[in-house]
């Protein structure tokens, strides 16, 4: 009987302590959308040099007689570009992000490729076509096409697949009016996931993506 009474008192004390702890503990952090996860907007590959190096890429831009942006022009030019992209792609399910003075258009790979394929799907032609129409008119920017995979399969297979996918999107943009002098492409395989480890198919699908990075071509 005494033991039972002690046990009830102990339970009450434990419950009160738990309530006190809950009252003093800070609230859990909010769930952050994919587009704003730290890797999603501060990863080194989105903040570093353009694909192939700026010196070599600038030489191609000059040869194509593309006029660079003066320092005073960059801010307004990129802000207008950002607004135009958001209007043109509204409702398409893409992310348009401002990253390090440039713009990143993030496209789920399901919009552009079947599983294991590097052929752009005809059913998603309209998505890339709308992007190409806007990007070609704002020609004072470098265009970097970056492709990512999930972690399913070997790193070597994923790297090769991402290289082919990046090249396929780059070729699509060039065939729809974006100057080849502006375009560089690179596959990143499974090296830069938004989610690691991948907990489910939703996270694996988020890791499979194409990104078009637009960087101002400065004088």
Domain ranges of the chain: 33-216
Q: What percent of the chain has pLDDT over 70?
A: 81
* Beta pairing, strands 209-216 & 102-108: antiparallel
Mean pLDDT of all residues in 60-72: 97
Structure tokens at 1: 């009987």
Mean pLDDT of all residues in 69-92: 95
Q: pTM of the entire structure?
A: 0.81
pLDDT for 20-34, tens place per residue?
Answer: 444 455 544 444 444
Highest mean pLDDT among 1-10, 25-34, 73-82, 92-101: 73-82
Residue 126 is predicted with a pLDDT of 84
Q: At what angle do helices 125-137 and 71-89 cross, to 10 degrees?
A: 160
Residue 203 is predicted with a pLDDT of 84
Residue scoring higher pLDDT (31 or 201): 201
Residue 137 is predicted with a pLDDT of 95
Highest mean pLDDT among 6-15, 34-43, 107-116: 107-116
Mean pLDDT of all residues in 80-99: 92
- With H, G, I as helix, E, B as strand and everything else as coil, classify residue 170: helix
Residues 172, 28: Cα–Cα separation, whole Å:
44
Structure tokens at 18: 């738990």
- Matching residue, tokens 């960059």: 74
Residue 105 is predicted with a pLDDT of 95
Residue scoring higher pLDDT (190 or 44): 190
Residue 40 is predicted with a pLDDT of 62
- With H, G, I as helix, E, B as strand and everything else as coil, classify residue 172: helix
Instruction: Say whether domain 33-216 belongs to CATH 3.40.50.10490.
Output: no
Mean pLDDT of all residues in 147-176: 95
Residue 25 is predicted with a pLDDT of 52
């Amino acid at each position: 009987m005494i033991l039972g009474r002690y046990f009830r008192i102990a339970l009450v004390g434990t419950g009160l302590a738990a309530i006190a702890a809950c009252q003093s503990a800070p609230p859990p952090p909010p769930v952050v959308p994919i587009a704003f996860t730290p890797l999603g907007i501060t990863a080194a590959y989105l903040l570093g040099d353009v694909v192939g190096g700026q010196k070599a890429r600038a030489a191609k831009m000059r040869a194509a007689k593309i006029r660079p942006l003066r320092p005073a022009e960059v801010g307004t030019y990129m802000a207008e570009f950002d607004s135009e992209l958001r209007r043109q792609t509204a409702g398409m399910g893409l992310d348009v992000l401002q990253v390090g003075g440039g713009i990143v258009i993030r496209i789920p790979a399901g919009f552009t490729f079947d599983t294991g394929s590097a052929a752009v799907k005809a059913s998603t032609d309209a998505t890339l076509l709308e992007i190409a129409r806007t990007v070609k008119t704002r020609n004072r920017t470098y265009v970097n096409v970056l492709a990512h995979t999930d972690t399913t399969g070997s790193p070597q297979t994923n790297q090769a697949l991402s290289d082919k996918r990046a090249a396929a999107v780059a070729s699509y943009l060039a065939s729809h009016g974006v100057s080849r002098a502006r375009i560089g492409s690179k596959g990143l395989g499974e090296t830069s996931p938004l989610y690691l480890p991948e907990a489910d198919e939703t996270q694996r699908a988020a890791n499979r993506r194409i990104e078009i990075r637009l960087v101002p071509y400065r004088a």
